[in-house]
Amino acid sequence: MKRILQFAALSVVYLISFIIYYSGLFKVIVFVRKKILKKTRVIVLAYHSIADYSPVYANKKEFITPIRQFRRQVSYLKNNFHIVPFEEFKSILQNGRVNEDIAVLTFDDGHRDVFSNALSIISEFKLPAVFFLTTGFIGRENYLTWEQVNMMRARGFEFGCHTVTHPHLDRISSDMVKREVMESKLELEKRIGKEINYFSYPYGDYNESVVSIIKECGFSAAVTTEDSNCDLSSTDLFRINRKTVLNRPFCFFVLKIEGLFEGGFWEYIRKKIFY
């Protein structure tokens, strides 16, 4: 029954996205937001696998962004957003003011196809990105090697921690949380020779205790999977919202980052039907 509801909900959303985008109404919406309402969008995008097929997500194909789709998304972002490094983004949040649409590209887990498929596209468009690595996965089949990580480091990309084994941090003891967090930080710093200041909560799961531990371990910011624009007036540096990019039609992607499916009714549907 749940799968039927999910299929029905997605079908309706796709139809709405198709009509709004290809009718030209989308351009009107963006124009009104930017020129009349004078509102900006500040978003962090979370990617996982960039490939046409990934054995890691054989049963969760929505986490795979096809290569051609990724190129189209990056091209759109390049033309419509100022894409900044995470360190600059953190300063923007602290400053609380911005006069243009801002986006940050993040990649979780450390999939090898990001190195083989995504880097060339990101580099072609001359864009920054931050990679949150699950250190215990490095060197495994279908994941990055430390050699590849250092090659990425040499090209100027940023890195953050994503624990050692990718557990649900809100379901384990505080001692285990500290071990997962601190061991991943120390390992990554040792391997790339640079201090690591950013953290990504696996599955987006955290609680007050986990946040306190992240702060104690010396991180300066952490990202969640809360699907929303970043509110510069109230964003907590240890609870930064991110929009997870799933394998969806391009028209849905652009409406999603514009915020047409945020909050209220859409958030209720997302939580009730898809979780």
In tens, the pLDDT along 211-265 reads 999 999 999 999 999 888 888 877 899 999 999 999 999 999 999 999 888 765 5
Q: Bridge-partner residues for 221, per DSSP?
A: 198
In this predicted structure, the answer to whether residue 275 has a pLDDT above a threshold of 90 is no
**Interatomic CA distance for residues 39 and 238, integer angstroms:** 24
3-state DSSP assignment of residue 31 = helix
In tens, the pLDDT along 157-195 reads 999 999 999 999 999 999 999 999 999 999 999 999 999
**Interatomic CA distance for residues 170 and 167, integer angstroms:** 9
In tens, the pLDDT along 41-100 reads 999 999 999 999 999 999 999 999 999 999 999 999 999 999 999 999 999 988 888 889
**Residue 192 near residue 149, CB atoms below 8 Å:** yes
Query: What is the amino acid identity at position 231?
Result: D
**Interatomic CA distance for residues 224 and 170, integer angstroms:** 13
**Residue 40 near residue 55, CB atoms below 8 Å:** no
Token pair, residue 203, equals 């599955």
Output phi, psi for 65, to 5 deg.
-100, 115
